[in-house]
Structure 1
Amino acid sequence: MKIDFNAMPDKEGYFGEYGGQIIPPELKSIMDDIDRAYEEVRQTPAFKEELASLYADYVGRPSPVFHARRLSDQVGGAQIFLKREDLNHTGAHKINHCLGEALLAKHMGKTKVLAETGAGQHGVALATACSLVGIECEIHMGEIDIAKEHPNVTKMKILGCKLVPVSRGTRTLKDAVDSAFEEYLKDPQNFFYAIGSVVGPHPFPKMVRDFQSIVGREARAQFQEKQGKLPDVIMACVGGGSNAIGLFTEFLADEDVRIIGVEPAGKGLDTPDHAATLTKGSKGAIHGFKCYNLQDNEGNPLAVYSIASGLDYPGVGPQHCYLKDLERVEYVTADDQECLEAFINLSRTEGIIPALESAHAVAYACKLAKDMSADQSILVNLSGRGDKDADFVAEKLKL
């Protein structure tokens, strides 16, 4: 049976058996209001024109597709191309959905936008978007990530958002989500929770995907124009999954294009120190939706780990779960060491310092390319730049 990928999710927010709204009735009505407002405003010429204008003149879209020739020659095999989301204003793909969410919050008359952040890229992008549209912004961030991603913390403060350190639990992304959501529940009528990935209750997995799908639309057209064909393989790192679904969506119906998501294996899949949700997780619910997640025998989320703060989340977007079950997308892993090697290698062969999150995808692309021929191609979504990680990596590698 041929799958109509454009029909996902259904009206209840499910991608197959994943997604939905596993939330209290009073919160369901709020989420339904957001869905209705989004579906109404996204069709209006004024909203579409304003967002398109901001993408072009503020973000700097379209982001280019770059042929990493020196890296390809060094690795051997397939040619590696990079979709340069690292060149966006604020340094990552996150600005794509943050602008959309901030505009929607303003349209709905909300007084404050709340969010969590791990690596800080979502926090910086949302603080930027809120400054632009003139709405209050509050970001919750784990204390470990605050120490690790200090450059992004500084940017958020400069941009005027309220930064809330989270000291509970693992003091990382999962706990930042919990903290931000609790603040949101204090006044959901007037606050807007701008979820930072394709996770959470419906309509957020759909909404964030729609805003991020500009990545794949651009990449598909750019690659065909320059190469005269589609890439043989497309690839992106997967934590919550927004940059990956942004690239994948436009290619899902192209059966000849192999699609790969790269999860963080951390210190090893045989240890508890990883965040390979689709690889090692089981079906359950987290943060208001059903997905594969890393959980204990009682269904509680496990503490997870990745060298990349933006990937250490125990759940994953519901559409990714469905695509895994359909076997349309392959989900693989790269560990910390492979990530660090790719980080340095791309920096020194192409002069591009990637985010540690993106370096997971670069690492697997280099591994896969060796088993492919020189007339084949791999397109990697380089979802962010590594400014935020440079000091951490330099200290870790004693550079």
Structure 2
Amino acid sequence: MRDVPAWREPAPPDATMGDPGARGRFGEYGGQYAPESLVQACREVAEAFRRAWADPGFRGELARLLALHAGRPTPLTPARRLSQALGVRLYLKREDLTHTGSHKINNVLGQALLATRMGRRRLIAETGAGQHGVATATAAALLGLEATVFMGERDIGRQALNVFRMRMLGAEVVPVTTGSRTLKDATSEAMRHWVGATGDSHYCIGSVVGPDPYPWMVRELQRVIGEEARGQCAAELRTGVPDYVVACVGGGSNAAGTFAGFAGTPARLVGVEAQGGAGAARGRLGVLHGCRSLFLQDDDGQIIEAHSIAAGLDYPGVGPEHAHLRDLGRARYVTVTDEEAVGAAVRLARTEGIVPALESAHALAWVIRAAGDGDLPAGSTVMMTLSGRGDKDVSTYKELL
């Protein structure tokens, strides 16, 4: 299925990607649909984060950790050979070069610092591709916290390297054997576990999903991607702003962080989903994991299992702010197939010497396809976030190539 809605004029800067307010709403999406036993815990997280985010000391310590431990800023790399072949100017925001190998470390370092500020001694997390789990285990080890990571049994099998890394870092990895045994079920189990552990544990959600304040908090912690890229584009491009800003979308944290840096510019924002997990492109209004957003559902309103070769995109919905951006027409959401993603990964490896994560390969697959069919006009400038490196996916690539 091809999703090509008409572009609309960008909304003004103060109309998108701001503070969702006390109700945590992005238009009709978001909110706090948490069980009664978690309402107070969510309120405590929201209040603590608002205080911390307004504290220059907290922001300064996070910036220090991002620089000295995570390796920020990440470079903006021109993909010269691929650009020449496609007829566009493609730049890659290199989140694959961060410590732990993906953008996840940006969010986790912030939430781990928040947890210590709140007096929590343990981090609870869910993970699909394993990158969020590795980042959580890394931050916990760095700050002297415990970590418990819930991971679907199916994902444990296809992401064995990351499971080993988490355990080597000292985290407990809990297999989830219910449902599809993937990211959705890992998230459900992590939230259930948090119910009985709110006194000493912080739930470190990895994407822009969940009850308020998580969609906003995670976006703000990932905003560093977009703000860095915005400054780098201003220095690199004659126009100062790319024509298109592209990122892959599962729950949507790397895309939300990227888009936040460009929401007030004329750049056209494109979120690329897996064809089998297209919450923004094909989802319907519903509630899952504590928020109101767009989810894949059957005629009875039951959640339909997602499918993607990329474990990090194997989620049946999308973060509430992405649903709102879609409705505004400020961002466009498109889909690509597993086969397109694998082909794009091979092409990037052989033209630029970069093996991307399968999640990132989805974004690149759309750029390649759109350049070929004219959806990206010749000569366009494209800034794409390369959200992670492909080490974790080598066994999958090996099986398919």
So what's the TM-score if we normalise by structure 2? 0.94
Residue 180 of structure 2 aligns with which residue?
Answer: 170
**225-234 vs 63-72, greater mean Cα deviation:** 225-234
Task: Note the 1:146-295 alignment, pairs <5 A.
Answer: 146-228=156-238, 229-254=240-265, 256-265=266-275, 274-295=276-297
Report the Cα distance in structure 1 between the residues aligned to 2:17 and 2:386, rounded to whole angstroms: 25
2:52 match: 41
Counterpart code for 2:254: N
Deviation (angstroms), 1:295: 1.6
Q: Distance in 1 between matches of 2:281 and 2:36?
A: 33
Superposition deviation, residue 193 in structure 1: 0.6
* Aligned amino acid, residue 72 of structure 1: S
Do residues 98 (structure 1) and 108 (structure 2) align?
A: yes
Contact 1:369/1:378 (CA < 8 Å) preserved in 2? no
Is the 1:113–1:136 Cα contact (8 Å) retained in structure 2?
yes
CA contact (8 A) 2:285 2:294 kept: yes
How many angstroms does 1:296 deviate by? 2.3
CA shift, 1:14, in A, is 0.5
Give the alignment partner of residue 25 of structure 1, picking from 17, 36, 43. Answer: 36
Equivalent residue number for residue 270 of structure 1: none
Aligned-partner Cα distance in 2 for 1:335–1:375: 26
Counterpart Cα distance in 2 of 1:303 and 1:334: 17
CA drift of 1:206 comes to 0.6
Distance in 2 between the 1:167 and 1:7 partners? 38
Counterpart residue number, 2:366: 364
Give how far 1:96 is off.
0.2
Match of 1:120 among 117, 123, 130: 130
Q: What percentage of aligned pairs have identical amino acids?
A: 48
Give the equivalent residue in structure 2 for 1:268: none
CA contact (8 A) 1:131 1:160 kept: yes
Displacement of 1:361 after TM fit?
A: 0.3
The aligned amino acid for 2:60 is E
Counterpart of 1:13 in structure 2 is 24
Classify the secondary structure of the residue corresponding to 1:313.
coil
Deviation at 1:68, TM superposition (A): 0.2
Counterparts of 1:101 and 1:301, CA distance in 2: 29
Q: Which range moved further: 91-100 or 363-372?
A: 363-372
Aligned residues between the structures: 387
Partner of 1:384: 388
Counterpart for residue 271 of structure 1: none
1:48 deviates by: 1.2
* Equivalent position amino acid for 1:249 in 2: A
Deviations 1:301-350 (A, max 9, x none): 11110000000111211000000000000000110010000011101110
Q: What is the rounded CA distance, in whole Å, between the counterparts of 1:167 and 1:202 in structure 2?
A: 27
String of CA shifts for 1:72-111, please: whole Å, max 9, x gaps. 1222x21111000000000000000000001101110112
Letter aligned with residue 179 of structure 2 = G
Matched letter for residue 196 of structure 2: K
Distance across 2 between alignment mates of 1:43 and 1:22 = 26
Q: Which amino acid is the alignment partner of residue 165 of structure 2?
A: K
User: Which moved further from structure 2: 316-325 or 185-194?
Assistant: 185-194
Quote the residue 1:61 is aligned against: 72
Secondary structure of the structure 2 residue equivalent to 1:7: coil
Q: Any unmatched runs of 5+ in structure 1? A: 266-273
* Pair 187,23 (structure 1): closer, same or farther in 2 beyond 3 Å: same
Alignment RMSD: 1.2
TM-score scaled to structure 1, two decimals? 0.95
Change (3 A) 1:194 1:275: same
Moved over 3 A (4+): 372-375
User: Which residues of structure 2 form unaligned runs of 5+?
Assistant: 1-10
1:84 aligned partner: 94
Any idea what SS the aligned residue of 2:69 has?
A: helix
